[in-house]
Each structure stands twice: as C-alpha cells, then as structure tokens.
Amino acid sequence: MWESVLGDTVRSLLVSGCATLLASAAGIPLGVYLGLKKIRGKPVLKTVIYTFYGFPPVVMGLLVYLLLSSSGALGFLHMLFTVPAMILAEFLLAFPLILGITMMSVASIPKEVSDAINVLGCSRWQTLYLHLREARNGILAAVMVGFGSAISEVGAAMIVGGNIEGHTSVLTTSIMVSTRTGNFELALWLSLVLLLLCLAVYAVLAKLEEGK
C-alpha cells in the first residue's frame, strides 16, 4: 500500500509541478505585458480570461481527451492516458489563473509609482524589472493559486489519465476511487498525504514571498 501511496505522491507533484511551471512560464510574461500595455479590446479580453477562472475541470478533461484521442487533431502523438496528457490538461486549467492574476497585479501598481519609474529615465529592462518588483507578491500569489488548481484537480486527470495504477494514478484520483470502493481508510491516508504535500509546497512559496 505504501509503495502505491508514494508513487501517487510523486506523480501528483510531478504533474502539478510541471503544469504550474509551464503555466507560469507562459502566463506571467503575457500577464505582465497585458497589465502594462493599453491595447484595443482589452476589457473584452479580460472578461474572457476571467471566465476561464471557473472553467469546469471535467469539461477541460473532455476537450483534451477529444484532442488526443485517435480521431483527434493530436491523436498521432499517442499521449492519451499518459502523464504528459495530464500535465497538458492541468496546464490549461492553471494558465488563465496565473495569467489573469498577474495581469491584475501589474495593472494595480499605483500610477504614482509608474510615473516615478518613468521619470527616472530607466531603460526598458530596468522599467520592466521595477514593475515586476512592485507586483512580485501578486505574481507569487498567482503561482500559488495555479498550483492549488493543479494539485487539487481530479476530473480532468481522471478523464485523460485513466487512473492507471502505477502509471497515471495521482493522489486525487486514488482518493476518489478508494472512496467509491469503500476503502475509506486508504482514502483518508491519501487525503492526509495530499494535505501535507500542499503544506510543504506552500511553506516554500511563503518563504520565498517573505524573502523578497
């Protein structure tokens, strides 16, 4: 049993960690750009991004399943029921959260601060760096929320991963299956491990926030 729990824990951290890193790599730069720039149609774009905050994970799982199935556009990759497929689904769920929160954090920088940065005559990269410093707590919060969305996800992971024991099973899907089969003791142990894993990750992120 403990070998299975360890495997699920490692895969949970791998899938959610990779999804969060990829979503951060894509969402933070784009969020900073949208937060700083005044572009046409920005209110509509913001509404679309915010709408994806509440996008049902099970629907995202279905869309990714159709995309990766043998008859789907990416069926030739043979990714369905694999860890990369789960990472893709969780990336798509975390990306709009990280993008939107980063955008709001940068856009919320007081105008006086932005004016002071511009008055200093900084280069483009210096200006970008100073804005990032001002919005750093909000950006870190975006990463936290994105990770929370990924690590707690179950619907999409079940659909595209299939919960294959020893291959694509993660803590959340194993908890659901254990509960369904009446193995409440295992479900409780898995839940405790999941909570401790989240506690450890958020403790590290909180430490990073304090150190900045």
Q: Any idea what the CATH number is for the domain that residue 34 is in?
A: 1.10.3720.10
Please tell me the total count of domains within the chain.
1
What pLDDT is attached to residue 37?
A: 85
- Mean pLDDT over 119-128 rounds to 72
Apex 209 CA angle, 50 and 96, nearest 5: 15
Give me the torsion for CA of 45, 48, 50, 54, rounded to 10°.
Answer: -170
Q: Which residue carries 């750093």 as its tokens?
A: 136
Q: 3-class DSSP state for residue 168?
A: coil
The residue ranking higher by pLDDT, 121 or 157, is 157
Nearest to 138 by CA among 32, 46, 57: 32
Q: Which pTM value belongs to this model?
A: 0.90
Lowest mean pLDDT among 39-53, 142-156, 167-181: 39-53
Q: What is the largest CA-CA distance in the chain?
A: 66
Long-range residue pairs from 35-38, CB within 8 A, at least 24 positions apart, any chain: 35/102, 35/103, 35/104, 35/105, 35/106, 35/107, 35/135, 36/106, 36/107, 36/131
The residue ranking higher by pLDDT, 38 or 88, is 88
- Average pLDDT of the chain is 90
DSSP string, 56-93: -HHHHHHHHHHHHSTTSTTGGG--TTSHHHHHHHHHHH
Range of the domain at 189: 2-211
